[in-house]
Structure 1
Amino acid sequence: MKLLTRIPLLILLFTIPAAAIAGPIDKVAELIKQGNTHELAKLFAATIDVTVLENANVYSKAQAEIILEKFFKENRPQSVKIIHRVNSSAAYNFEVMHVVTDKGKYRVAVTMKEIEKQMVIIELRVEVEKT
């Protein structure tokens, strides 16, 4: 009888959306997988250090969005796998992802920092995956 009263609780537990319990690192990975630069740009700091392949510079939020949008239009993401994460500090997160696109494999590193009580991306690097 106890089992019957616990089944609805178990069903509820397993139906909670993963996004509701996912942290900022997981959110970034999901947005990259979708190639959703508009939503990703909402997580950018006012200025962000962006490296895409050989081009590196510090850009405004809007400029960085345009650069990443161009990259993802030319390289449509197919899968993303987080291969390394550092989230032991509430004020600093770092992740490295393996991103497979229709044109090749890339390594994407993202650094996030808490600024004004919000986690924002301060650095994003896209490099060709070295195998």
Structure 2
Amino acid sequence: MTKFKHIVSIILIFCSFISIAANSSQDKKVPNEINVGLATGDAKVLSTYFNQNVELVVLDNDNVYSKAQAQQIVTNFFSKFPPIEKNAFSIIHDSGKENAQYVIGRLKTEKGDFRVYLLLKQNDGKQYIHVLRIEQQ
């Protein structure tokens, strides 16, 4: 009987680890509005997740900008390079730890594909974009 209890204990511990891993990966999920903003070329939606200052690299713009300036630069980008379809943005890789996450994705536009890098940091329960890079592939 003790062998059976030992096996049950091991199974319970294993299930606990799986549950913890599943919950922590859900915490790291990129907010859907960020995906939608990139996929539809909606800089206004995207900017609701911008930190007060954003490190932005978009074509010739490479600097730290205020939230309003960053929104204008991204708006200009999307006016020149509109996404080709509703699901034009796809995540290739994402990872992170506790309060920080990075995302690498692909954005398909009418004038070519772009690689998108995001650094998100959590503050007061909400994720904010601290770094956004949009580079031609």
Q: Normalising to structure 2: TM-score of the pair? A: 0.72
Q: Which runs of no fewer than 5 residues in structure 1 stay unpaired? A: 1-21
| Correspondence for 1:83 among 86, 92, 108 | 92
Counterparts of 1:24 and 1:98, CA distance in 2: 15
Counterparts of 2:118 and 2:79, CA distance in 1: 20
Task: Specify the alignment match of 1:61 in structure 2.
Answer: 67
* Percent of aligned pairs sharing the same letter: 29
> Which residue identity does 1:81 align to in structure 2?
S
> Which residue identity does 2:49 align to in structure 1?
L
Task: Specify the alignment match of 2:7 in structure 1.
Answer: none
Q: Normalising to structure 1: TM-score of the pair? A: 0.75
Task: Specify the alignment match of 2:39 in structure 1.
Answer: 33
Q: Which runs of 4+ in 1 moved over 3 A?
A: none
Alpha-carbon contact 1:85-1:94 (below 8 Å) kept: yes
> Which residue identity does 1:44 align to in structure 2?
F
Worse overlay, 38-47 or 27-36: 27-36
Q: Which runs of no fewer than 5 residues in structure 2 stay unpaired? A: 1-27
Q: In structure 1, the residue corresponding to 2:46 is in which secondary structure?
A: helix
| Correspondence for 2:114 among 106, 116, 124 | 106
> What is the total number of aligned residue pairs between the two structures?
107
Q: Aligned Cα RMSD in Å?
A: 1.7
Task: Specify the alignment match of 1:47 in structure 2.
Answer: 53
Q: Alpha-carbon deviations, 1:28-82, whole Å to 9, x = none?
A: 2221001111011010100000001232000000000000000001100121121
> Which residue identity does 2:89 align to in structure 1?
V
Counterparts of 2:35 and 2:46, CA distance in 1: 10
Structure 1 residues 26 and 40, CA gap change in structure 2 (3 angstroms) = same
> C-alpha displacement at 1:94, in angstroms?
0.7
**Which protein has the larger Cα radius of gyration, Structure 1 or Structure 2?**
2
Q: In structure 2, the residue corresponding to 1:66 is in which secondary structure?
A: helix
Q: In structure 1, the residue corresponding to 2:90 is in which secondary structure?
A: strand
Alpha-carbon contact 1:112-1:122 (below 8 Å) kept: yes
Counterparts of 1:28 and 1:64, CA distance in 2: 15
Q: Pick the structure with more strand per residue.
A: 1
Counterparts of 2:31 and 2:49, CA distance in 1: 11
